A and B are shown apart, each in its own frame.
Chain A
Amino acid sequence: MRIPLSWLADHVDLAPGATGRDVAAAFVSVGLEEEDLHGGDVTGPIVVGRVLSFSDEPQKNGKVIRWCTVDVGPHGQMESERIAQEIVCGAHNFEVGDLVVVVLPGAVLPGGFAIAARKTYGHVSHGMICAEDELGLGTDHAGIIVLDTYLGADAAAEVRPGDDAIALLGLAEEVVEVNVTPDRGYCFSVRGLAREYWHALGSPEGGFRDPAAVPTPAPSPTGYAVELTDETPLEDRTGCDRFVTRVVRGVDPTRPSPAWMQQRLTQMGMRPISLAVDITNYVMLAVGQPLHAYDLAKLSGPIVVRRARPGEHLTTLDAVDRTLDPEDLLITDGGEVPLALAGVMGGATSEIDASTTDVLVEAAHFDPTTIARSSRRHKLISEASKRFERGVDPDLAPAAAQLVVDLLVEHGGGTADPGVTDVDRTSRRAAYLLEVDLPSRLVGHRYPRERVVEILRDLGCTVVDGSVVDASDGPKGAHVLVTSPSWRPDLVDGPDYVEEVARVNGYDNIPSVTPTPTRGRGLTHAQRVGRLVANALVGRGATEVLTYPFVAESLADAFGLAADDERRSATRVANPLSDEAPLMRTSVLASLVEALRRNVSRGQKDIAIFELGSVTLPGPDSEHTAPVPGVERRPDPETVAAIEAALPRQPRHVAVVEVGEAERAGWWGPGRAVDWSDLVDAARAVAAALALELTVEADPDHAPWHPGRCARISLPDGTLVGHAGELHPKVLATLGLPPRTCAAELDVEVLTVASASATRFEAFSTFPLAFTDVALVVDAVVTAAEVETALRSGAGEWLESVTLFDVYAGDQVGAGLKSLAYRLAFRADGRTLTTEEVNGFRDAAVAAASAAVGAVQR
């Protein structure tokens, strides 16, 4: 909402010398956030000009520029030689003889744009002819301002080339724009903002002059007939509870609205249209009551307000034919012909036009929910709907209608009908019994009773001593009975009033007291695990990145997932930003490959990245509907359980992707390429950080990994942790990723659960270590893990470690066989092992390997 300082000053005494910045700061102090500051940043010369001649000149870039001469009065570049101003203009919406706005060299436009004579399109342009947006008057850039239409012919007849356009258009005046929160609809008016500014100054006696404080006539039976009906109220609130109509006859349709009104509308960001429309807009901006003007000649029956019928249509003023919903509220002519979508937008059939002389003015009060839904349903946010859905003062309609009538009579030469309609079904606002101490208690700052009452009264509340109705046990005078003013429907219960007291008294006066919780237990195990997992990977040289969890439907195929793979069951976003990526990822790898691709495309070759984040696993048969219980009380445990059951499982995973060199080449020698083992080792590092052991098996069937280079990683008890290895060459080719890219994905929840209990210390021996080496020949298909398991099973209790230090396949061992060389290390508790003992252990280990996998010692 905007407010020009001069308009504000009409209704509240400004602080002496107040600038736009000061006024904005005052608004902030009462909780209205500053959005912007307009105007006041234009310096001259900006003058009225008359177009004397022009020629259209096509340019190489396809544009046609207009080379103009303009009479700018005594400001011309070569006035002494009687040569008119020469200006290049890109717009074509003007004719010779038109009055335009000319910015001359030396002027500065909003945003700090300094204007100078400059060479462009083969001419020296001595200034510029302005469009609305360039002057900060609006957003219109369709063409330049032609004053004859912009001001109206009458007003334009008064101006001469060379006149100061800054004064003419009010460009020098500062306009403050504030952001109005949804609870304070009344601030969508000069009336509301003036009151708030007055509060910011301390609500000085007599400092605020309510623009809606005008005498209004009593309703009379001769007013235009109005019927309010509503057979299906929303949430038990009738769609329309007040409807005021007034009639003004004999309005001269050719009269323009006065220049001052047009200027204010422009400053507020609205376009002047016609006298009747401008007046309704002006009064709406002044007091906050949306109004509508109908051409009385186009109405026949009484006005009937009702809900729309199924299939009914209305063409609104924006020329859109709208199919109505039975929840939409309509203003109709005689109950049959829809005239307007109530509180949102008028219809085309009863529109004021160039021949309208008799005007019916509507000032009504509509249910916020009805208007909000209609506005959203039809994607139509109007100045009216914006105000109605935030709550309009239900007592305002008669005064607002009177203001419109007065202006139509004054500026349109009309005569007001004596008949006044006011169908009033508004209900009295309930008084609230406010504990006077509540603001002090809830804010933590002492507000004396007198101060609380004073603030509430300044706000417009009616405050009476609560003891008359105070049935509570508290001391006399502990309560006051507060009735909120009609423009504050948001004030309902205690905390609402507390905020008002704290706000008007100044939020800056709220003290700062650090709370002192005493039961903190630090981070949870799961939280520490998350940090450790990430840090362990960083320790291995990987870099953490973040990716969006949205993936393409085609990714499951690109990954080569089997038809029954659980990861194909994905949660789908109903309204994705991109139809290319409507699914939530079922693996972190699914989105991490995007980050890999981006880094590759930006020239990185050796990449190790990881991400720790949620995956969404709804499973193939899950029911996705969550109950939405009420909020009047805590939902019962079954309902909470049903909500939880509807949520997909969302475990935390970590994925790592590596490609390029694991160890770089350099002056020290050649590098070493990343291979599957680096990723298994990464998994091991993660597990080791949590003091967990992992079991590794070959998994020939886990997409998107290479069937021969994929390790299934599990806990010793068999619980699956994840997979690591090289990705499938076909997957890499399909996704356009570098060959030999390796990856791992681990379920961090599994690691968290497994590492939850404190690690138990195991005593270790300090006696010497004894080594013995053994080379075993096995069938090539036997895995290292199988051989190691067998060796461990036979080596006895003093085995400390088994290290595979060589693998050989070739002529010396024979076709289809391989040789694995192990170093076994033994250490006993409490004594030194003899060579004979160690040899015995070794032989037993070899025997076990022979029995288990047919190993033969070389």
Chain B
Amino acid sequence: MSGPNKQYDPVEVATLDPAHLDAAVTAAFAAFAAAGSLEELKTARLAHVDKGAVAAAKREIGALPPSAKADAGKRVGAALAELGRALAARTVELEAERDRRILVEEAVDVTMPVGRRALGARHPLTLTTQRLQDAFVGMGWEVVEGPEVESEWMNFDALNLGKDHPARQMQDTFFVDPPDGGLVLRTQTSPVQIRTMLDREPPIYVVSTGKVFRTDELDATHTPVFHQIEALAVDKGLTMAHLRGAIDHFVRVMFGEGTRTRVRASYFPFTEPSMETDFVCFACHGDGRTNDAPDGAPELLRACRTCGGSGWIELGGSGMVNRKVLTACGIDPDVYTGFAFGLGIERALQLRSGVTDMRDIVEGDVRFSQQFGMEV
């Protein structure tokens, strides 16, 4: 114990008493713990750290005799450090609690409807067109386009559809007025092939996509304005095997690996030999018969409406480019061969997405496009 101080004040000295100091620290701890908020903690700090017994003890160290100062200073310092740690720890606790509470208070009902701004969508037909284009571009082909109001020569003559061909009649083709002016609304995208062959030297690997016109009234399966994609390749040594390969690749890309197809001979003026590719019907899976009856009664088995009972759906025509067509475009048919194939994009969309009524595609109802977003 230190010796008596000449300014010894027994009352004040009591605050430096170890037991007294311990009690003060314990009281401060209790006050910190009792503080339920950062504000209360601040009050507790003021009462027990900035003021109160420990602060008083600190002040009184100076009054002690030098021999006692070091010992008292050490004890007060330790007490203050202890309080500081406790205070910091409680502050962290209370801050975390406050943050939690604020987040809870700020919580909203995220299930409330949103949609302040409308969401747009592309038309699935243009998306299907893009998908088809991309499939070919991925194979190294290019996309070409041409005018919708087209010359008869490009649309018919150059494609070996002579003057007497039935397709050139008014009941199939829209003619531009005057009807003998040599202009029509193109009935196929094939004139773009002619334009390409007039423009470019082989090798040519292009697909043309776009709008075409036929004089069909709009109903569930017909539309006077529809879309086609046609592929044309002209190169040395191209064969029907290449044609089949290109179609097979395209079918895999568009409809998946397992899609069954068949090919058969056909006739188109612009190709020879010609070929038709069929798909297995997606509705009856090739059976040709469907049964509408819930109990599957055999007498209600009827021809499949989707494929008409054959089990197959026509994908599109194709063939080796007719020598006459190459000649009309100035390409030597003894040097180059070519193949072409085409299909209706509406049909591709129907097959891919189960659109059964053509009117939904052409009527411009936003609810149709909006089902598809930005990708078919």
Interface positions of A (Cβ within 8 A of B)? 21, 24, 28-31, 33-37, 43, 108, 111-112, 114, 181-184, 369, 372-373, 376, 441-445, 493-496, 498-499, 502-503, 507-508, 510-524, 526-527, 531, 534-535, 537-549, 571-577, 584, 594-595, 598-599, 602, 604, 606-609, 612-614, 616, 624-635, 640, 643, 646-648, 650, 662-664, 666-668
B133:A523 contact, CB within 8 angstroms: yes
Contacts of B133 in A (CB 8 A): 523, 527
B149-175, CB < 8 A from A: 149-154, 157-158, 160, 164, 166, 169-170, 174-175
User: How far, in Å, is B216 (CB) from chain A's closest CB?
Assistant: 8
For B265, list chain A residues within 8 Å (CB): 30-31, 499, 502-503, 507
State the CA gap A523–B206 with chains docked (Å): 11
1/0 per residue B182-217: CB within 8 Å of A? Answer: 110100000000000010000101000001000101
- CB closest chain-B residue, reference A441: B239
Interface centre among B185, B327, B366 (most CB of A within 10 A): B366
Q: Which residues of A contact B26 (CB under 8 A)?
A: none
Query: What 0/1 pattern do residues 308 to 319 of B give for CB contact below 8 A with A?
Result: 111010000000
**Those 6 A-B pairs whose CB atoms lie nearest each other, nearest first:** A31-B265, A634-B330, A444-B241, A444-B239, A595-B364, A499-B273
Residues of B within 8 Å of A181, CB to CB, are 266-267
The reply to whether B151 and A626 form a contact with Cβ atoms under 8 Å apart is yes
B106 at the interface (CB under 8 A from A): no
A572-B177 in contact (CB<8A): yes
With A112-B299, A372-B164, A628-B157: A445-B241 Cβ-Cβ less than 8 Å: yes
The residues of A that contact B31 with a CB separation of less than 8 Å are none
Which chain B residue has the least Cβ–Cβ distance from A599? B366
Asked, given contacts A543-B120, A543-B369, whether A598 binds B363 with beta carbons under 8 Å apart, the answer is: yes
Residues of B within 8 A of A372 (CB): 164, 166
Chain B residues in 8 Å Cβ range of A625: 180-182
Binds A, one of B77-85, B87-95, B243-251: B243-251
A455 to chain B minimum Cβ distance, whole angstroms, is: 13
B183 touches A626 (CB 8 A): yes
Instruction: Give the docked Cα–Cα distance between A514 and B249 (Å).
Output: 7
Complex contact A664–B143 (CB within 8 A): no
CB-CB < 8 A to A510: which residues of B? 240-241, 244, 263
CB-based contact A574/B178 at 8 Å: yes
Q: Residue B238 contacts which of A511, A515, A520, A624 (CB distance < 8 angstroms)?
A: A515
Number of chain B residues close to chain A: CB under 8 A: 108
Asked if A442 contacts B320 (CB within 8 A), the reply is yes
Contact flag A520-B215 (CB < 8 Å), given A543-B121, A546-B361:
no
Tell me whether B135 is interfacial, beta carbon within 8 Å: no
CB distance from B108 to the nearest CB of A (A): 11
Question: Which residue of A114, A537, A628, A640 is within 8 Å of B152 (Cβ)?
Answer: A628
Q: Which of B117, B158, B176, B233 contacts A573 (CB 8 A)?
A: B176
Nearest Cβ on chain B to A441's Cβ, whole angstroms: 7
On whether the beta carbons of B273 and A520 are closer than 8 Å, the reply is no
> Is A524's CB under 8 angstroms from B113's CB?
no
Q: Which residue of chain B lies nearest to A376 when distances are taken between CB atoms in the complex?
A: B169
Q: In the bound complex, do residue B176 and residue A571 qualify as a contact, i.e. CB atoms below 8 Å apart?
A: yes
Whether B245 pairs with A512 at a CB distance below 8 angstroms is yes
On whether the beta carbons of B139 and A650 are closer than 8 Å, the reply is: no
B366 touches A609 (CB 8 A): yes
- B355: Cβ under 8 A from any A Cβ: no
Let me know if B178 and A31 touch, CB within 8 A. no
Contact B328 A517 (CB under 8 A): no
Of residues 121 through 135 on chain B, the ones whose CB sits less than 8 Å from some CB of chain A are 121-123, 125-126, 130, 133
Q: Which residues of B contact A534 (CB under 8 A)?
A: 122, 126
CA of A443 to CA of B300, assembled, Å: 45
| B180 nearest CB across to chain A (Å) | 8
Per the bound structure, the CA–CA distance linking A494 and B143 in Å amounts to 31
Question: Per-position contact with A for B63-88: 1 when CB-CB < 8 Å, else 0?
Answer: 00000000000000000000000000
B366 touches A604 (CB 8 A): yes
> Which residues of A have CB within 8 Å of B169?
376
- Whether B182 lies near A511 (C-beta < 8 A) is no
CB–CB A668/B116 < 8 A:
yes
Rounded to whole Å, the gap between the CB of B345 and the closest CB of chain A is 11
Question: Can you report 7 residue pairs joining A to B where beta carbons are below 8 Å apart?
Answer: A181-B266, A372-B164, A442-B337, A508-B262, A598-B365, A624-B181, A647-B150
B322 at the interface (CB under 8 A from A): yes
- Minimal Cβ-Cβ distance residue in A for B374: A538
CA distance A515 to B237 in the complex (A): 11
